[in-house]
Amino acid sequence: MKNIFTGLVLLSGFMFSSLAWSALQDFNGKPGKLEDYTGKGKWTVVMFWASDCHVCNAEAQQYVKYHEANKKEKVVILGVTLDGQDKKAEAEAFVKRNAVTFDNLIGEPEEIASLFESLTGGTWVGTPTFLIYNPAGELKAAQPGAVPTSLIDEFIVQQSKQAQNQ
């Protein structure tokens, strides 16, 4: 089977710094770290978004439905908005408008771009962008642009089969 994500960057061998995540916080101002959400026995899909991103707005419901359908068994979504404190009200409006049920963290755009680059070794492109972590909390893929949830499922199945065969 051909790679199911066009342009998907499979990642391995990186040492990830949790210090970079200290710039993030939840919408109540409590610091948030990626380790609080990954490595809990489920796949974690991190969705970087911005309230003024047209694609993010158009695709939000797809990810909300996916999160709700999978959160108890195999996959959770974590949102990370680049809106920063200056646009926190717009980020909160995005969450409300799209009835987002998954957890979200907020950070400043430059810090999130730096974080992405330090985690992946790749160049930050923009929103939406996705990171996919396996149940052990290992970063397995990074993908800029909208990704249909059916492809996320296919990727998880493929990666799970490979892990079983090793």
Q: Which of helix, strand or coil describes residue 1?
A: coil
Residue 75: inside a domain: yes
Alpha helices in 18-53 (DSSP H): none
Residue 3: inside a domain: no
Our count of domains for the chain comes to: 1
Residue 55: inside a domain: yes
Q: Which residues of 4-31 are buried (b: 16+ CB within 10 A; e: fewer)?
A: ebeebeebeeeebeeebbebbeeeeeee
Residue 92: inside a domain: yes
Domain, as residue range, for 65: 25-33+43-161
Residue 17: inside a domain: no
Residue 13: inside a domain: no
In tens, the pLDDT along 54-92 reads 999 999 999 999 999 999 999 999 999 999 999 999 999
Q: What percent of the chain has pLDDT over 90?
A: 77
Q: What is the pLDDT of residue 29?
A: 93
H or E element at residue 77: strand 75-81
Chain mean position to CA 73: 18
Residue 62's CATH number = 3.40.30.10
Residue 123: inside a domain: yes
Q: Which residues contact 34 (CB under 8 A, 6 or more apart)?
A: 18, 21, 46, 78
The Cβ of residue 104 has, within 10 Å, a number of other Cβ atoms equal to: 20
Residue 20: inside a domain: no
